Amino acid sequence: MRNYLSGFLAPLLFAAIVSPALLAGCSNTTATSVSQQVFEIAWLPDESGMLAYIDKVSISSLDNSQIEGQNLYHVGSDGSIGNSMNPADAPVNRSGYAPIVSVSPDGHTAIASFINGMGMPDIYRYDLSGGNVTDIIQSSYLLGVSRDMHYAATTTLAANPDYRLIELYDLNSLQPLLPKQTITGPASNRVLWIDGTHYAITIQDSVGSDNTPRSHVAIYNTAGDITQVIPNADVPFHASAYASKSGDLFVRTYTDGIDKINLTTFVRTSVITDDSVNSMDVSSDGTLLVYSSDALNNNGSFPAYAVNVANGHKANIGTSVTTPILSPRADKVAFIHQISGGSSQDIQVTSVSLPN
Query: Domain check: are 28 and 102 in the same one?
Result: yes
Burial of 143 per CB tally in 10 Å (0-12, 13-18, 19+): buried
DSSP letter at 11?
P
What's residue 23's pLDDT?
54
pLDDT of residue 347: 98
pLDDT of 184 reads 83
Distance CA 93, CA 216 (A): 28
Task: Give the residue from 139, 174, 195 where a domain finishes.
Answer: 139
> How many domains does the chain fold into?
2
Q: What is the pTM of this model?
A: 0.89
Task: State whether 158 and 227 are in the same domain.
Answer: yes
Per-residue confidence (pLDDT) for residue 17, from 0 to 100: 42
Kindly state whether residues 128 and 157 are assigned to the same domain: no
Which residues form the domain of 192? Answer: 149-237
The per-residue pLDDT for range 4-55, each reduced to its tens digit, is: 333 222 233 333 444 444 454 444 456 777 899 999 999 999 999 999 999 9
What pLDDT, on a 0 to 100 scale, did the predictor assign at position 282? 98
Residue 91 lies in a domain: yes
- Nearest residue to 137 via CA among 149, 125, 119: 125
Instruction: Calculate ∠ Cα 252-293-144, nearest 5°.
Output: 45
What does the pLDDT read at residue 75?
A: 98
Structural domain includes residue 295? no
Convert the pLDDT of each residue in 262-303 to its tens digit.
999 999 999 999 999 999 999 999 999 999 999 988 888 999
Residue at which a domain ends, from 85, 105, 139 = 139
Neighbours of 266 (CB within 10 A): 9
Residue 154 lies in a domain: yes
pLDDT at 29: 55
Residue 289 falls inside a structural domain: no
What gap in Å lies between CA 87 and CA 128, rounded to an integer? Answer: 14
Last residue of a domain, one of 84, 112, 139: 139
Give me the pLDDT at residue 327, please: 98
Mean pLDDT by 10 residues, the chain (356 residues): 30 37 50 88 98 94 89 98 96 92 97 95 96 96 96 87 86 92 83 96 86 90 94 95 98 96 97 96 98 90 97 96 96 94 92 96
